[in-house]
Amino acid sequence: MSAGESSVNGTNRSRWLTYENGILLLLGTTFGLVWFDRNAMNFLAADVVKDLGLTGAQLGWLSSGLSLAWALSAYFVGAWSDRRGTRKPFVLGSIVIFSLCSALSGLATSFAFLLLARVIMGLAEGPFLPVCLSILNVESSPNRRSLNTGIIQNVFVALLGTMLSGFLIPTLAASFAWRNTFFLTGIPGLACALLVWLYLREPERDKAASAGPAHTVDAGALAMLKVHNIRVCCVISIFMVAWFLVAFVFLPIFFQNYRGFTAEEAGGLVGGTGFATLFGGFFVPAWSDRVGRKPAMIIFCFIGMVTGAAALFFHGPVWMLRVLLFVGWTATGSFPLFMGVVPGEAVSRSLAASSMGLVVGIGEIVGGVAAPPVAGRIADLTSLEAPMIVVLVCAFCAGVAALFLEETAPRKVSAAQGQRVAEYRKAA
């Protein structure tokens, strides 16, 4: 090998072995494990319902209790992180607590005990995403902020929280029972906590304060809600979080108890949607840089309607059902936009955790807390078709809300400003 070739290869290696890529891999893996633990209940629902004698409404409340705790801690702990100007302690504490709480779920002997375990887990998991995204806003290259947001929020969630969990959790439950499965799911998180403690460094405060141009507002929730795009993102978050959680809570049991699939087949169908989350995490944020945030969100929120429609009305080959679920689930590509990118472009970067936590929190409280038990109660009174109808309606309402967004993509905003300047000069 020549010296030139060695130099080039060394440059290529150093291009990938950067701190930015390192924390993206570490924080992304950990967030994937957050969703692995959160979704474990969905894939174990049939066994848990049978052993503890739960109703459909109680199953919905398990998701809602976690969502409420997630929502409150996402905003309040995220805002606390902004006020203190520190990130690492909050990330580290979140990982350790949610990992231990996964094991706590396996000890449950009643609905109340299990609900308490899920609420504590939600309190620990809630601030993880907004705090991590605030770190990435500082440490990411300017041309990779949107892509990095999509990768951490979608790609790792798809690989670990959807695809791996859909395959591994039913397999573990078949071999070790559902209680032991909860015990096992907490171990990888503790390993990630050790790596975060050793590798993650605290972002520089002055760097965080100056990372990117944006509107400057007060850190309070009411002040942030005066910003138009944050209000719109909150509405979109309500419907899309409801869409996601109702689908993920009820799709496995819908396919098993209503459509007649086995537990492994239902897990495979739902777990297969991880490929769509993986695709959406790359494609939608990157595409929004070119076509704009607004059209990307409008299109992919409406695409989410395919999920409920396919589950309800398609009775053809299983492979085609997988394709339709894939198409519908690409709507998850909108999540990095309305939860991370657009709120981050609406306020100062030093308030990133607060703005993102607010959008996540409102979406979780209204959409995540209310929708699953309401859908479960309607299912108790009617049939398991009801949650799928809720999924379909929520995607439609989110698409309508996205119509009211104001464009924030830098390329589109710059082009629009340039056009206005040209028109002004022409008129002058």
Res 197: pLDDT: 92
How many other CB atoms are found less than 10 A from the CB of residue 332?
31
Q: Which of 33, 40, 73, 35 is nearest to 192 (CA)?
A: 33
User: Taking Cα atoms as reference points, which of 36, 118, 107 lies closest to residue 69?
Assistant: 118
Question: Per CATH, is 24-427 categorized as 1.10.1740.10?
Answer: no
pLDDT at 130: 84
Residue 4 CB coordination number (10 Å): 8
Give, in order, the Cα–Cα distances in Å from 377 to each of 55, 62, 312, 370.
Answer: 9, 13, 18, 11
Tens of pLDDT along the chain (428 residues)? 444 444 444 444 556 678 888 888 899 899 888 888 877 887 788 788 888 888 877 887 887 788 788 888 888 888 888 778 788 889 898 899 888 888 888 888 889 998 998 899 888 888 888 888 888 877 777 667 777 888 887 788 778 877 787 778 888 888 888 888 888 888 888 888 999 899 888 877 645 444 444 444 555 667 788 889 999 999 999 999 999 989 978 888 888 888 878 777 787 787 777 788 888 888 898 888 888 889 999 999 999 999 999 999 998 888 899 899 999 999 999 998 998 888 877 776 667 677 888 888 888 788 877 888 888 888 888 888 899 999 999 999 999 999 999 987 777 666 655 554 454 445 55
Block residue for tokens 């119509």:
403
CA distance linking residue 260 with residue 236, whole number of Å: 33
Q: What is the 3-state secondary structure (H, E, C) of the chain?
A: CCHHHHHHHHHHHHHHCCHHHHHHHHHHHHHHHHHHHHHHHHHCHHHHHHHHCCCHHHHHHHHHHHHHHHHHHHHHHHHHHHHHCCCHHHHHHHHHHHHHHHHHHCCCCCHHHHHHHHHHHHHHHCCHHHHHHHHHHHHCCHHHHHHHHHHHHHHHHHHHHHHHHHHHHHHHHHHHHHHHHHHHHCHHHHHHHHHHHHHCCCCCHHHHHCCCCCCCCCCCHHHHCCCHHHHHHHHHHHHHHHHHHHHHHHHHHHHHHHCCCCHHHHHHHHHCCHHHHHHHHHHHHHHHHHHCHHHHHHHHHHHCHHHHHHHHHCCCCHHHHHHHHHHHHHHHHHHHHHHHHHHHHHCCHHHHHHHHHHHHHHHHHHHHHHHHHHHHHHHHHCCCHHHHHHHHHHHHHHHHHHCCCCCCCHHHHHHHHHHHHHHHHHHC
Token pair of 368, please?
Answer: 């995540």
CA dihedral 25, 290, 367, 84 (to 10 degrees): 50
pLDDT value at position 349?
65
Q: Which of 252, 247, 363, 242 is nearest to 307 (CA)?
A: 247
**376 close to 228: Cβ distance less than 8 angstroms:** no
d(CA 73, CA 90): 11
pLDDT at 49: 85
Report d(CA 205, CA 304) in Å as an integer: 39
Every domain of the chain and the residues it spans: 24-427
* Pair of tokens at residue 290: 């070119």
Is pTM beyond 0.85 here?
A: no
| Token reading at 39 | 């979704």
Task: Give every CB contact of residue 66 below 8 A, 6+ residues apart in sequence.
Answer: 38, 118, 119, 121, 122, 125
